Structure 1
Amino acid sequence: MTVDIDVRARTLPMPRGPVSCWVIATLGDGPAGSMRPNPGLEHADPLGGDLQLALQVCYEIHYRGFVGVDPDWEWDPDLIRLRGQMERRFLRRLRSEVAGGADADAELDSVSVAEAGDGSVAAYLRDQGTWDQMREYFAHRSIYHLKEADPLAWAIPRLQGAPKAAFVAVEFDEFGGGDGERMHSRLFSDLLRAADLDAGYLGYLDDVPPETLATVNLVSTFGLHRSLRGALVGHFATAEATTPPSAKALVAGLERMAAPAECVLFYTEHVEADAVHEQVLRRDVVDGLLAAEPELAADVVFGVQATEFLEGRLAAHLLHSWSADVSSLLAVREPWAGPVAARASTMDG
């Protein structure tokens, strides 16, 4: 019998620069409708820690929210306006970094044949990673896996007919097939406890770098915009295609490390489930969506490429840190002192 999953919201995180400080101070100090003057976004790196944390905080209001934050902020027009400005900067940067195109089949074929070979995080952890590095990897992934499948659910009302039915079928498995103890988020919570890590929701939000935040923000960005439903489907198909080989390598690494059974279980579950999910998403969701709305092909491709780009950035950060024998987490924080900085914070990045 697993321990009940933590359903509580967490406290607001520490800011990492002027934009996140402004957002966090505003949400923490007053009711919805009391937005402070905008500090300006023109100098914020779209992929940096300040903007990515600010975006993460804005998105979280749509999920569990934060302790002490007025839930009516969810649809506050000023907060939504700011979030839209950050999203546009984020999306422009992503589009500038990827090749684009409209051949969704070719793009998905390219990620479907990829294995967890040399140069991948999974292969590193399989062959030479330490238990401490594996635990760091868990901390990074906890930001997404403790809400696994929730951002994807935004696509359901935006799909129709057979693609919707197939999408829901895959989501049903992600949510444990109706069994709360088999939900993937629940299994990851069990993994964290077995690894002697914080299993609290967003427990490592203050510790992960912007590379991690961006991979999670991408899904919320796609999910909260009907106009990006094709990109969300492309992201989901990419995730399901690339997970089985990575999960298989992680299982081998965990067994080499004699890791707790709960840690191995989470990844064996993904080896088995996601191999089936990939086929359903390719055949029934992507093909069905593009048969009905062929104009969305470029969005599907963008979803695939943006996912691969951000995952590549995170992988480079992890491998660079570990090759230098340093932590990939933000172990050392320097206070960010700004005009509205009323709490300890971190520098951007």
Structure 2
Amino acid sequence: MKLPSPRGPVSDAVISTLATAPHGLTVGDPGSDDDLHLSLFILYELHYRGWDGVDDTWEWHPDLLALRARLEAEFEAELRRLPVPEHHADVPHALLAMTSETGGPSLSGYIRGRATYEQFREFATHRSVYHLREADPHTFAIPRLAGAPKAALIEIQIDEYGGGAVRRMHQEMFKETLTGLGLDTTYGAYVNVVPWQTLANNNLMSLFGLHRRWRGALLGHLAAYEMTSTGPNRAYGNGLRRLGGDASATRFYDEHVEADAVHEQIAAFDMCGSFSEAEPELAADVLFGARCVLTLEDRWAEYVLSRWEAGESSLRT
């Protein structure tokens, strides 16, 4: 499959090829993870800002939806193999325990003290795929909730969107980081150079966000993000300062240190706790969503660190 071009266009011909492609991709086969997650990312993006030169009517094309369902089934089958408690009476404290686990690869520690300037640029390149649309996947949950969990999610999202001020939107703040690093700020600019591990992290939140049945998992995903954000973002900001980054370049990370310290409690107790009380049959999904993101983030960090320690780039060439 031909990768998207650097600035995000995917032609109608590529979408048409996807619509008629064989539906037998298998997770774990040589090369199939690349195909699976690139295909899913292309299909999911039709529900966000679309692709240059692709008609918006492709978003709901029946053949594409059928293909997406098959690819999602492959992805979900892999996720279902992760060990997650089926039931837990105290979801907030279960989330606190899960997000306090140690032993995974410390990418933030490496970036704080050892990363080169070029490696930090690579790190920002990976993260640009999400940060340039930060908060958008989780916003899909708002119309699917009611009462206390809805109010808590909106409270978090208001901060993510800068309280309505463009310059304070986290998406916009990250553009300042990219500019400071001499990187392209165009939405989707680096989709074609990131590996499948990066795309999988993005596909996970789209999988949860685009399906109402996964609303609990989406809340767990967001909670895990918020509850594991403060320390790493402090390390990223300090690492960038060590490498000469100015206040504008580090503002994105510094903002998350302050904001996510507050969001942690809101996400665990006000959002996930109240949701699990309102819909106890979906409490296990909350923990499932958290486990998925923690595992996929660890897998991505391990990949990046292994490439750097081997003296190689973590990006596709």
How far apart are 1:261 and its partner, in Å?
A: 2.2
Alignment check: 8 A CA contact 2:25 2:71 kept: no
- Provide the rounded CA distance (Å) in 2 between the counterparts of 1:62 and 1:225: 12
Shift of 1:10: 2.6
**Percent of pairs identical after alignment?**
43
Alignment of 1:49-68 (within 5 A): 49-68=34-53
SS at match of 1:96: coil
Deviation of the 1:43 alpha carbon: 3.9
Structure 1 residues 28 and 201 mapped into 2: Cα distance closer, same or farther (>3 Å)?
farther
Q: Report the AA paired with residue 27 of structure 1.
A: I
CA distance in 2, matches of 1:158, 1:70: 28
For 2:139 and 2:226, the matched residues in 1 are separated by 15
Equivalence for 1:40: 23
Q: Write the distance in 2 (CA, Å) between the matches of 1:118 and 1:296.
A: 27
Seen in structure 2, the aligned counterparts of structure 1 residues 48 and 36 have a Cα distance that, compared at 3 Å, is closer
Instruction: Check 1:70–1:106 CA distance in 2 against 1; reply closer, same or farther (3 A cut).
Output: same
Superimposed CA distance per residue, residues 39-93 of structure 1 (whole angstroms, 9 cap, x where no aligned partner): 1224454871111000000000011111111100111111111111111110111
Task: For 2:44, give the aligned amino acid.
Answer: Y
**TM-score, length-scaled by structure 1:** 0.83
Change (3 A) 1:311 1:123: same
Question: Does 1:229 pair with 2:227?
Answer: no
In structure 2, distance between residues paired with 1:28 and 1:283: 45
Q: Equivalent residue of 2:244, what SS? A: coil
Preserved contact between residue 220 and residue 285 of structure 2 (Cα < 8 Å): yes
In structure 2, what is the Cα distance between the partners aligned to 1:125 and 1:199?
21
Within the candidate set 62, 70, 74, 1:85 is matched to: 70
Aligned residues between the structures: 307
The residue matched to 1:65 in structure 2 has which SS?
coil
> Which residue number corresponds to residue 4 of structure 2?
none
Equivalent-residue separation in structure 2 for 1:171 and 1:146 (angstroms): 15
TM-score where L is the length of structure 2: 0.92
The structure carrying a bigger helix percent of its residues is 2
Residue 170 of structure 1 corresponds to: 156
The Cα of 1:37 is off from its aligned counterpart by 3.1
Partner deviation per Cα, 1:193-248 (whole Å, 9 max, x = no partner): 11101111111101000000000000000000010000000000000000101001
**CA–CA separation in structure 2 for the residues paired with 1:124 and 1:148:** 24
Structure 2 partner of 1:326:
312
Which residue number in structure 1 is paired with residue 15 of structure 2?
27
Deviation for aligned residue 1:270: 0.3
Partner residue in 2 for 1:110:
97
CA distance in 2, matches of 1:111, 1:249: 21
Does 36-45 or 164-173 show the bigger shift?
Answer: 36-45
In the alignment, which of 174, 186, 194 is matched to residue 188 of structure 1? Answer: 174
Distance 1:149 1:275 in 2: 17
Equivalent AA in structure 2 for residue 60 of structure 1: E
Aligned letter for 1:72?
T
Structure 1 distance, partners of 2:208, 2:308, is 31
Kept in 2, the 8 Å contact 1:28–1:69? The answer is: no
